[in-house]
Amino acid sequence: MRLKARVLISVAALAVAAWQPVQVSAQAANLAQALPDVADLAEKLLPSVVEISVQSKSADAPQQTAPSDQNPFKDFFDEFLKRKQQQGNKDEPPKDPGKDPGKDTGKDAGKNPDKNKDAPLPDSLVNAMGSGFIIDSKGIIVTNNHVIADAVNIRVHLQDGTLLKAELVGHDAKTDIAVIRVKPDHDLPAVIFGDSDKARIGQWALAIGNPFGLGGSVSLGIVSARGRDINSGPYDDYFQTDAAINKGNSGGPLFNLNGEVIGVNTAIFSPSGGSVGIGFSVPSNEVKSVADQLIKFGETRRGWLGVKLQTLTPDVAEGLGMQKAHGALIADVTAGGPSEKAGVKAGDVIIGFDGRAVDDSRTLRRIVAQAEVGKEIEVKVLRDGKEQTLKVVLGRLEEGEKLAAAADTKKPDAPAPANLQVLGMTINDLTDETRKTFKLDDKIQGAIISDVAKDGYAAEKGLAVGDVISEAGGKPVTNAQDVATAVEQANKDGKNSVLMLVAHAGNAQDTRFVALKLKK
């Protein structure tokens, strides 16, 4: 009986074995029809993607290309990278055979024979590698800012093996984009930017770059998500892709299947240091805007509203009388800035900018930064539950940042005598004595917090001793009683919370709205 069972199992196994190849073959055929063939596209695009080798002053060079000590291929990569770095550190790029090896072979040959030579460099420099792509046939290349950060020597390796010295055109840390230039003796194959706004989740995406120094590597995936905020800068709006991106891919392009650049590969999420299918790319529309400014001016020129923005949470929105949290909440207006001149006030919620809807503060930061400096913009705001349209002439962010520099924010030495107990806080009137004790800004008005209960809602919201409440319930505060009155009125109106405008440590330049629940 056991023998018969074994025979039956064997026969069944043979039957399955005979059937499976047909099924696998059919599945493979269907899969082959579904997957795109990118061989021709890759062949066309590869010459436009470059390897970048950098000698940097930074001890924390982000594009270190060596794998971890636990990697089984570590010895192979160490030897490979050593050869690549030795090639990149030669005094001169390769010369064409048959020409005088002591002369420059570029279009400016004879004018400056030593233009591709480097002065002796200190041994303490860090060698790193990254990627880039050509956007102008005359030698303009886009990469990541962190690839060339603190660089003293930048080399570009073309697909045909040519090695060229590069110079920095401009860089922008806020978006991690940089532009460099080489001087080739012939036109280079350039790529074009696509419209990243049209890229959809699930569309195919092709990444080309220089992972671990392995130049000309191609990987295929999809656009996995849009609008990712990875807390790397004020304008985070990354594509997420599962196309393989590793160390050394930074600065390389992410293409759509039309061969258009839709992003610049910038970061990965990886516990291991290698690709786990979660990579992030800066959208091409933002890249193009920044690159154009860097090429034209050598620096960025972003629009500036002159406001401090705060995330509009549901409880703060309720305190403002809004049914739903949408828009960008203004916590403070910079004195002398564009918004103050246009009549914008703290507590306004911006819901529209230059004809575009504003969903949140992140959206507003990006579209303001991309707007033209000096342009008059219509800004739609919600104020006291009503829509208003104001006209603001945009300033320049780079100049506005200096104007809006934070004032002295020293913390208070000791609390002042108590006056009123409100929502887990002790509130005091502002007097000459309390101003001196807490080292307050002379311009600040309101009531000061002299104590905060550790288990109270105020403490949960981050309020602290020395903070000053300048508005409560939508009305200015001149003393502690105004705060108590606002709380009492909110209770009478049946509200769940009361909205307060608070200056941290009494600093008029560091204010935010806080919605305090009336019942714990």
Query: What's the CA angle centered on 468, arms 476 and 508, to 5 degrees?
Result: 85
pTM as predicted: 0.66
pLDDT (tens digit, 0 to 9) for every residue of the chain, 520 residues total?
343 433 333 333 333 334 444 455 666 566 556 778 999 999 999 999 999 999 987 544 444 333 344 444 444 445 545 555 555 444 444 433 333 333 333 333 333 333 444 444 455 567 889 999 999 999 999 999 999 998 999 999 999 999 999 999 999 999 999 999 999 999 999 999 999 999 999 999 999 999 999 999 999 999 999 999 888 888 889 999 999 999 999 999 999 999 999 999 999 988 777 888 999 999 999 999 999 999 999 999 999 999 988 888 888 887 788 888 899 999 888 888 999 999 999 889 999 999 999 999 989 999 999 899 999 999 999 998 899 999 999 999 988 887 765 433 444 444 444 457 888 888 888 887 777 777 787 778 888 888 888 777 788 888 888 899 999 888 899 888 888 888 888 888 888 888 899 988 878 778 889 888 877 5
What does the pLDDT read at residue 405? 59
Q: Do the beta carbons of residue 509 and residue 332 sit within 8 Å?
A: yes
What does the pLDDT read at residue 489? 85
Q: Dihedrals φ, ψ of 315, to 5°?
A: -70, -35
Q: Is 481 helix (H, G, I), strand (E, B) or coil?
A: helix
* CA distance readout (Å), 421 to 382, 416, 417, 424, 425: 32, 14, 12, 7, 6
Query: 194-282 with 420-517: one CATH topology?
Result: no
CA distance 502 to 448: 9
Q: Do the beta carbons of residue 390 and residue 342 sit within 8 Å?
A: yes
Q: Which two tokens stand for residue 153?
A: 């020597």
Q: 194-282: what fold?
A: Thrombin, subunit H (2.40.10)
Please tell me the CATH superfamily of domain 420-517, with its number: PDZ domain (2.30.42.10)
What positions carry a catalytic annotation? 146, 176, 250
Phi-psi map region of 281: left, alpha, beta (phi>0 left; psi -120 to 50 alpha): beta
Closest CA to 430 of 474, 481, 473: 481
What does the pLDDT read at residue 27? 64
DSSP-derived secondary structure letter, 321: T
CA distance 227 to 366: 12
What does the pLDDT read at residue 87? 53
Q: Which residue in this structure is represented by tokens 């941290």?
A: 504
- Annotated domain spans of the chain: 194-282, 306-403, 420-517
Q: Do the beta carbons of residue 187 and residue 199 sit within 8 Å?
A: no
Q: 306-403: what fold?
A: Pdz3 Domain (2.30.42)
Q: Catalogue the E-assigned strands of 453-496.
A: 468-472, 475-476
